[in-house]
Amino acid sequence: MSSTKYASAVAAVKAMESNLITQGEFEQLINAKSAAEMDAILSSGASERNSLNEVWEMIHDFAPDSEELKILLYRNDFHNLKAALKATLSNREPEQYYITPTNLELDELKSILTSKEYDYLPEYMRETAEQAYELLTRTLDGQLSDSLIDSAALSAMQKASYEFGGEFIQKYSQLITVCADIKTAYRCSVMNKPYSFIETAVCGSEELDKESLARSAQRGTESFFSFLESTPYNEAAEILKSSPAQFEKWCDDIITDHAESARMRSFGTEPLMAYFIAKETEIKNLRILKVCKECNTNKETIMERMRKLYV
> What are the b/e assignments for 162-177, b being 16+ CB within 10 Å?
eeebeebbbebbbbbb
Mean per-residue pLDDT, 152-178: 97
- pLDDT for 5 equals 73
Confidence check: pLDDT of 251 > 90:
yes
- pLDDT for 311 equals 67
Confidence check: pLDDT of 1 > 50:
no
Model confidence band, residue 7 (pLDDT cutoffs 50, 70, 90): confident
Domain ranges for the chain, please list them: 67-165
Confidence check: pLDDT of 151 > 70:
yes
Model confidence band, residue 48 (pLDDT cutoffs 50, 70, 90): low
- pLDDT for 42 equals 82
- pLDDT for 184 equals 97
Percentage of residues in the chain with pLDDT exceeding 90?
71
Confidence check: pLDDT of 263 > 90:
no
Confidence check: pLDDT of 3 > 80:
no
Confidence check: pLDDT of 298 > 70:
yes
- pLDDT for 2 equals 46
Count of helix runs (H) and strand runs (E) in the chain: 17, 0
Report the alpha-carbon distance of residue 208 to residue 5 in Å, rounded: 34
**Cα radius of gyration rounded to whole Å, the chain:** 20
Instruction: Give the number of other CB atoms < 10 A from CB of residue 114.
Output: 13
Confidence check: pLDDT of 213 > 60:
yes
DSSP 119: G
Instruction: Give the number of other CB atoms < 10 A from CB of residue 64.
Output: 8
Give, in words, the CATH class of 67-165. mainly alpha
User: What string of H, E and C letters represents the secondary structure of 77-104?
Assistant: HHHHHHHHHHHHHHCCCCHHHCCCCCCC
Model confidence band, residue 217 (pLDDT cutoffs 50, 70, 90): very high
Model confidence band, residue 46 (pLDDT cutoffs 50, 70, 90): very low
Report the alpha-carbon distance of residue 171 to residue 51 in Å, rounded: 26
- pLDDT for 49 equals 67
Confidence check: pLDDT of 157 > 50:
yes
In this predicted model, what pLDDT tens digit does every residue of 223-238 receive, in sequence order?
Answer: 999 999 999 999 999 9
Percentage of residues in the chain with pLDDT exceeding 70?
96
Give the CA distances from residue 47 to residues 17, 279, 285, 306, in Å, rounded to whole numbers and listed in that order.
10, 14, 17, 21
- pLDDT for 109 equals 95
The greatest distance separating any two alpha carbons of the chain, rounded to the nearest whole angstrom, comes to 55
Query: Are 108 and 95 contacting, i.e. CB atoms less than 8 angstroms apart?
Result: no
Give 100 or 37, the one with higher predicted confidence: 100
- pLDDT for 80 equals 97
Confidence check: pLDDT of 310 > 70:
yes
Mean per-residue pLDDT, 294-306: 89
What mean pLDDT is reported for the chain?
92
